[in-house]
Structure 1
Amino acid sequence: MFTFIGTLIVGFVVGLIARALKPGDDRMGWIMTILLGVAGSLIAGYVGRALGWYGPGQPAGWIASVIGAIVVLVIYGMIARRR
């Protein structure tokens, strides 16, 4: 239970940092911010393991997670702009 709550808190912080660093107005609520941060961490972990930066089961670092969240924000902006 604590791991799930910890994941949500870390996702929220990572999402807030990514939204603050990326220029533009990304209108999303706190639930989408949490999902953004969690997705960024998952992407950073996957890429990091593929490149050999992280071992199996090792979580991604804060900086990599924020960069992953910014990538998710850019992709989300490109998709939302087409609508």
Structure 2
Amino acid sequence: MLNIIGAIVSGAIIGVLARFFFPGEVDMGFFATIALGVGGSLLAGLVTSRGRSDFHRAGCLASILGGMALILIGRLFF
């Protein structure tokens, strides 16, 4: 249970930082920001694992960059 709460809190922090550092205005609600942070952390974890079967947690900076990449992908496709 604490893992889920930790993922939500860290997702909110990572999402807010990704929105802050992304150039331009990013219109999202609170739950979309949390989803952005969690998705950015997962994306950064997949990129930094480099095909290994074990999954390591990515750092905070990599998670923020992953969130910013998701914002960019969302703007390009939608």
Question: Which runs of structure 2 are paired with 1:6-21 in the superposition (5 Å)?
Answer: 6-21=6-21
Q: Distance in 2 between matches of 1:44 and 1:51?
A: 13
Residue 58 of structure 1 deviates from its aligned partner by 2.1
Report the TM-score when normalising by structure 2.
0.92
Normalised to the residue count of structure 1, the TM-score between the two structures is: 0.87
Equivalent position SS for 1:25: coil
Identical pairs, percent: 36
Residue in 1 that maps onto 2:58:
60
CA deviation profile, 1:43-78 (whole Å, cap 9, x unmatched): 1000100177xx823211100000000000000111
Q: Which runs of 5+ in 1 are unaligned?
A: none
Amino acid at match of 2:19: R
Q: CA RMSD in A?
A: 1.5
Structure 2: gaps spanning 5 or more residues: none
Aligned match for 1:73, one of 56, 71, 74:
71
The Cα of 1:20 is off from its aligned counterpart by: 0.3
**Paired letter, 2:7:** T
Q: Which residue of 2 aligns with 1:35?
A: 35
1:33, distance to aligned residue in structure 2 (A): 0.3
**Is 2:49–2:55's contact at 8 Å kept on the other side of the alignment?**
no
Distance apart, 1:23 and its partner CA: 1.1
Q: In structure 1, how many angstroms separate the alpha carbons of the residues matched to 2:13 and 2:47?
A: 20
